[in-house]
Structure 1
Amino acid sequence: MANKIEGFNFEQRHGKDRVRVARVWKNKEGRHFMVEWSVSISLLSDCLPAYVSDDNSDIVATDTMKNTVYVKAKECAEQLSVEAFSIELAKHFTSYYKQVTTAIVKIVEKPWERVNVDGHPHEHGFKLGSEKHTAEAVVKKSGALQLTSGIEGLALLKTTKSGFEGFIRDEYTTLPETQERMLATEVTAVLRYSYESLSSIPQNPHYFTERYLEVKKILVDTFFGPTKEGVYSPSVQSTLYQMARAVLSRIPDMSSVQLKMPNLHFLPVNISTKDTQIVKFDDDVYLPTSEPHGTIEASLSRFWSKM
């Protein structure tokens, strides 16, 4: 919130960060479903007296925010998406407290996945996966909505069908050009939905989970290409664009995609002494490195997007 105080512009917000909650649902057949969320809440509210007059009467305590997460999780009798829960929380704070004008709720979902035992899904057994599902809902008292979904830590690697040629060469360039290299990255995606109000979002509580899984499949399929022949990547930049374009082409209610794809290098290994070559590289022995690594990121949005 922006206010003028004694000739200054003053902006403030307050909230609760990293509220961890796990929720288990059980269906009639005895199968368990579970999620683990880390919830961050930020409220924009009319509580200026707390800062300038020692008057806390308009403050929503951050401990109350924490407890609200657990109460609202309990009230969700049916399994729902991380996006739907972030909207529910944000809607609560803007409707329940008259002084709260905007609520920003960001949630990171830990990737617990059902395990298979002897080829069958376990009724109540889970293992920790890799990439995380994120969501952020910004809800105003008017009902206006900004909703983003995300993926963190989607690790992808292919051992061939990648090259890098034709880049600028000068006196500082040592990198050889190649049509054959390993390509590895860890994708971070931020996906903006086109819904602008609470009344416009789909009522299916699983809708955004389905879209998240669909987006993840599109990103993975575009990166790798067909199972046998794959698809050639002339650069991380080119692959990133094709991945973002595929998402917007297939998900009509998504207005923009932002992708961050570090180039995690696998360096060819050749070892030789003065007289003998001990290891000759033949696209088979690499040195994996994490630092330094290339950073490539870009966003793609529809013309009407407000991103």
Structure 2
Amino acid sequence: MANKDQIDGFNFEQRHGKERVRVGRVWRSGEDGRHYFVEWNVSISLLSDCINAYVRADNSDIVATDTMKNTVYVKAKECSKQVSVEEFAILLAKHFTSFYPQVTTAIIKIVEKPWERISMDGQPHDHGFKLGSERHTTEVIVKKNGALRVTSGVEGLAVLKTTQSGFEGFIRDQNTILPETRERMLATEVSASWRYYFESLSSISNQQLQFTEKYLQVKKVLMDTFFGPPKEGVYSPSVQATLYYMGKAVLGRFPDISSIRLKMPNIHFLPVNLSSKANPVIVKFEDDVYLPTDEPHGSIEASLSRTQSKM
């Protein structure tokens, strides 16, 4: 997405913004005495009518990227009550498209660092936090006419199960050495993003959006579908099938989500068999000793959207 113009006989596209603006925000609750903390990494991209800056060295229509950075801190300060990462992105995008006549579209991407409240002796700490693993993400696009697109997501959701996974019936040719199996370890690092149905700022003005709660609920559905019940689990015939089950479960559970995209690399744990001429069985693999690997790994991704979705 970019502004497109005809300049000097060329097709010309441009945008500008500020990347990796890091901000931490603490809210101190007067009711329960607890502190609430978030750390966000904000990226801003503006589509604006500032062609003269490129072709005539005239910067009079440019919103300086340093101003964008400062605006993040100003808006964080103005949020006197705790807001979700999605709400903050919408607030920023609304500001840039309404405050500056030149700006036609604002694209805000934010990654939330996974700080989690600690517990001591079973009691949540009022102001103590530890760093978790998976990250909450969002991308918000707002146009000057009020059009809105909100996508939320999770990155780095590392999950593993030691059984209830197999891979059979795939194409075999002269280059295939992978054995078929109904018993293997399944590990992946889920990246998922889902788009909400609403398409304008006016459509959300009076809604209780509860983005953080929805993020936690979607993440739970993804994990529940991957793992299955605590005792018996659920069989995975392939990463592809499990990915589809997970996406389908999210769309089935949340009618306000119009589409979901999933990326699930197949992170391999290789069976360890060790032998030598003197000792043909040093280690015999019996679904117990593995070599963890990072690369190469399988890459599986897909998206599901409702037939009436505009994604």
TM bucket (normalised to shorter chain) is: over 0.9
The alignment's TM-score, normalised by the length of structure 2, stands at: 0.97
Q: 2:81 aligns with which of 56, 78, 81?
A: 78
Q: Determine the C-alpha separation between the residues in 1 that align with 2:295 and 2:205.
A: 43
Q: How does 1:145-160 map to 2 (within 5 A)?
A: 145-160=148-163
Shift of the alpha carbon at 1:201? 2.1
The aligned residue for residue 26 of structure 2 is 24
The aligned residue for residue 176 of structure 2 is 173
Shift of the alpha carbon at 1:202? 6.4
Q: Determine the C-alpha separation between the residues in 2 that align with 1:123 and 1:136.
A: 30
The aligned residue for residue 299 of structure 1 is 303
Q: How many residues align?
A: 307
| Kept after mapping to 2: 8 A contact 1:81/1:205 | no
Shift of the alpha carbon at 1:74? 0.5
Report the 3-state secondary structure (helix = DSSP H, G, I; strand = E; otherwise coil) of the residue aligned with 1:272: coil
Shift of the alpha carbon at 1:234? 0.4
Shift of the alpha carbon at 1:77? 0.8
The aligned residue for residue 283 of structure 2 is 279
Report the 3-state secondary structure (helix = DSSP H, G, I; strand = E; otherwise coil) of the residue aligned with 1:306: coil
Shift of the alpha carbon at 1:273? 1.7
Q: How does 1:159-198 map to 2 (within 5 A)?
A: 159-198=162-201
Q: 1:120 aligns with which of 119, 123, 128?
A: 123
Change (3 A) 1:284 1:129: same
Q: Tell me how large the CA RMSD over aligned residues is.
A: 1.0
Q: Which amino acid is 1:50 matched to?
A: A
The aligned residue for residue 102 of structure 2 is 99
Report the 3-state secondary structure (helix = DSSP H, G, I; strand = E; otherwise coil) of the residue aligned with 1:142: coil
Shift of the alpha carbon at 1:272? 1.4
Q: Determine the C-alpha separation between the residues in 2 that align with 1:66 and 1:203.
A: 29
Q: 1:237 aligns with which of 224, 235, 240?
A: 240
Q: Which amino acid is 1:286 matched to?
A: Y
Percent of matched pairs sharing the same residue: 73
Moved more, 29-38 or 197-206: 197-206
| Kept after mapping to 2: 8 A contact 1:81/1:206 | no
Deviations 1:236-258 (A, max 9, x none): 00000000000000011111110
Q: 1:108 aligns with which of 69, 90, 111?
A: 111
Report the 3-state secondary structure (helix = DSSP H, G, I; strand = E; otherwise coil) of the residue aligned with 2:136: strand
Q: Which amino acid is 1:144 matched to?
A: A
| Kept after mapping to 2: 8 A contact 1:80/1:206 | no
Deviations 1:119-178 (A, max 9, x none): 100000000000000001000000000110011000000000000000011110000000
Q: Determine the C-alpha separation between the residues in 2 that align with 1:83 and 1:140.
A: 16
> Which ranges of structure 2 fall in alignment gaps of 5 or more residues?
none
| Kept after mapping to 2: 8 A contact 1:84/1:205 | no
Q: Determine the C-alpha separation between the residues in 1 that align with 2:207 and 2:11.
A: 43
Change (3 A) 1:136 1:153: same
Shift of the alpha carbon at 1:200? 1.3
> Which ranges of structure 1 fall in alignment gaps of 5 or more residues?
none
The aligned residue for residue 10 of structure 2 is 8
The alignment's TM-score, normalised by the length of structure 1, stands at: 0.98
The aligned residue for residue 212 of structure 2 is 209
Deviations 1:40-82 (A, max 9, x none): 0000001111111111111000000000000000001111110
The aligned residue for residue 72 of structure 2 is 69
| Kept after mapping to 2: 8 A contact 1:108/1:134 | yes
Q: Determine the C-alpha separation between the residues in 2 that align with 1:158 and 1:55.
A: 59
Shift of the alpha carbon at 1:8? 1.1
